Amino acid sequence: MSGTGFSIGMSVIIGSYATCTTNNISATTPTQLASGGMIINSNGTQISGIISSGLSCTWGTIVTGAGGYYRIGNLNGAAQIVVQLQLTITSALTAGTKYYITGFPLPILQAVSTVPVTCHDIYNTRVCYLDTFGRLTFTPNNNMASGNTLIFGCTYIANS
């Protein structure tokens, strides 16, 4: 990165990882608006890799490399959370019973008390949502055997 008249710079490298650099010339504001509308703050905006550590599911196994969530925003504080979770059922599920996957960042909920979550298996899904405790709740519409795969997805705003 080169140039003058800035104190904060951004370069995007292979794989779309953003890095910030500094220059010895001071600017009056840490926010720069580039042509095209990108806003870069001094504390940085980050997109993390898939996160599955901290998630817990007693009735299924999260598929490594294909299950978890990622953050768009700061590593701590406000961020957009994108859930793309694939798991294999390890014990039979009973229709009408609630099953939980815990450990997601807590959502910011204002007018609603849950975040809707989609499940690819609509025939076997009665209810699927993320609550204020960071739990993904899944209630099957029918009994489900061990070995089946479920895929869940949603996007929400967190502040933790």
The answer as to whether 3 is a domain residue is no
- Of 16-30, 45-59, 62-76, the poorest mean pLDDT is in 16-30
pLDDT at 159: 81
Residues 39 and 73 in one domain: no
Question: Are 118 and 136 contacting, i.e. CB atoms less than 8 angstroms apart?
Answer: no
pLDDT at 130: 95
The answer as to whether 122 is a domain residue is yes
- E-strand stretches of the chain: 8-13, 17-22, 32-33, 39-40, 46-47, 60-62, 68-73, 79-89, 99-101, 115-116, 118-119, 125-130, 136-140, 149-158
Q: Please choose, from the candidates 115, 113, 160, 121, the residue with its C-alpha nearest in 3D space to the C-alpha of residue 139.
A: 121
- Which range marks the domain in which residue 127 is found? 60-158
In the block, residue with structure tokens 């009973």: 94
Residues 70 and 117 in one domain: yes
Amino acid letter, 83: V
The answer as to whether 95 is a domain residue is yes
Domain count, the chain: 2
> How much is the pTM?
0.70
Residues 149 and 71 in one domain: yes
Residues 147 and 82 in one domain: yes
pLDDT at 41: 45
Percent of the chain scoring above 70 in pLDDT: 67
Q: Please choose, from the candidates 84, 106, 93, the residue with its C-alpha nearest in 3D space to the C-alpha of residue 140.
A: 93
Residues 67 and 17 in one domain: no
Most distant CA pair in the chain: distance in Å?
A: 65
All residues at 6 or more sequence positions from 112 whose CB lies less than 8 Å from its CB, including other chains = none
